[in-house]
Chain A
Amino acid sequence: MKYLALVYYQESIINAMTEKEWHDLNQKCIQCVAGLAEAGHFIAGQALQPVETATTVRVRNGETLISDGPFAETKEQLAGFYLLEARDLNEAIQLAEKIPPAQLGSIEVRPIRDLPPPD
């Protein structure tokens, strides 16, 4: 099974970090990816730029509407993602526990939906 682990945290917590704390968090994330990859669980993953860099695109009646920021204001913001390979939800949860921001934000674990075969 493939699961997407969506990493959320309050950017305000990150903004309040010292340079050293921010550096350490990034190093922990790098180690986490290395560990997951070594165990064969890591398929893909990236960290995201802060939410202020986001642009939302909608197409309505053929017209493209572009606006600033994410669609919904939330308490925690999407900060990155891991695409994981796991046996089942229990294993996916155990992997998500290891993602460093789990300790300061939250990780949403969602199973991947396979698209039907093309017509």
Chain B
Amino acid sequence: MTIETQLEQLYQTHSRRVLATLIRLLGDFELAEEAMHEAFVAALQQWPDQGVPDNPTAWLISAGRHKGIDQIRRRQTLRQHQQLLLDEEEPLATPFNDNTLEDDQLRLIFTCCHPSLATEAQLALTLREMCGLTTEQVAKGLLQKPATIAQRIVRAKRKIRDAAIPYEVPDIKALPERLHNVLQVVYLVFNEGYSSSMGDSVVNHNLAEEAIRLGRLLCELLPETEVLGLLALMLLQDSRKAARQTPEGDLITLDEQDRTRWNQPQIQEGLAWLDHAMAQPPVGPYTLQAAIAALHAQSKSSDETDWVQIAGLYDLLQRINPSPVIALNRSVALAMRDGPEAGLQALHPLEEELQNYYLLHAAKADFYRRLNRIPEARAAYQTALNLTQQLPEQRYLQKRLASL
């Protein structure tokens, strides 16, 4: 393997760790990023002659730190960084063992997902800094203009600096809430990938993969129940991606999917993470949703699915995390367990709150269709159609409408 290929691989696998530690050592996102790139360039120049160092990550961090300090000198912002310069000649207080590297990655996650940043900024920053996507890739994933994303990231970094958002893992008291926020960001990234809210494609594989990668990393760094549950949920949902769409990009619903196309190794992995999560009660909403996804993943068909247990899990979910969308999903499970009439009844209290949500009308239309109440089904499909901008969803609803 050439040094170039080796470095390329190292960049893929380790650049985020190097960056996370450099941000701590240099105290500045921009500077750390530049310094990291310079360190990789230096490696490309020096390693062919000097050989690959024993600990390449430590070499890159050390080189990056020196590049960063040089940069500070060049910028002549001595006043702000006096302390850093004083420390320069001394050996590093914290050696680069695996623990400090892991801590730095957690610090980076908690900083990118700090609730004092706007949610959109948290998403963009996480994709940029944690996943290492370019601004263009982030923009593509989030269906925004690159200039918008670039500005969001610049503003977020400015706020981190000016408001002194610390580079740290929150203390025990604040941790549960802050972790909840991190998981929310990861799941948002996943869902952005799973179904973009506009446009022609239902699945943007890239972002879902990034979210799963983040989920795996979090499981290594902070294996709390809901962290494991979220990874299980994402793996189980993502295992269906090959079956969710026709080659033409049309949507296929769960009951009509070719289940032989579900990704079995990924299902097995998801089930294993779910077992870990279940072994650490109390469980939260991600773990419960994973448990529901697991029941689907293990069923041969919609008819053979354990709807009694799924409806029970939705009851539990609704109790610990009440939300109209969960109540909507619960009504679908009830309709499968007790018939479409029961589904309609469960939908009724949600109609006002979710009146602009196309899936409510799609579910209602489906219940009417199964009850053979065709005019009502037709009206509901039409309302659903008017409320979604997503082309595959529109085509699906039109097909249903035509089949009545």
Contact = CB atoms under 8 A, between A and B. Distances in A.
Interface of A: 1, 87-91, 93-94, 110-111, 113
A113 B174 CA distance: 27
A110 B166 CA distance: 15
B162 interface: yes
Contact of A111 (B114, B164, B166, B174): B164
B163 A90 contact: no
Contact of B168 (A90, A94, A111): A90
A30 to B, nearest CB: 25
Contact of B170 (A87, A90, A111, A113): A90
Contact of B165 (A89, A94, A110, A113): A89
Contacts, number: 25
A93 B162 CA distance: 15
B116 interface: yes
A108 to B, nearest CB: 11
Per DSSP, are chain B's interface residues mostly helix, strand or loop, or mixed?
A: loop
B166 A88 contact: yes
Interface residues of B, number: 10
A88 B160 CA distance: 10
Given A90-B174, A94-B174, 6 more contacts: A1-B164, A87-B164, A88-B165, A89-B116, A89-B163, A111-B162
Interface string B111-128: 000101000000000000
A87 B170 CA distance: 14
A90 B162 contact: no
Contacts of A93: 116
B166 A87 contact: yes
Nearest to A110: B163
21 contacts: A1-B164, A87-B164, A87-B166, A88-B164, A88-B165, A88-B166, A89-B114, A89-B164, A89-B165, A90-B166, A90-B168, A90-B170, A90-B174, A91-B166, A93-B116, A94-B174, A110-B163, A111-B162, A111-B163, A111-B164, A113-B162
A91 B173 CA distance: 12
Nearest to B168: A90
A113 B158 CA distance: 13
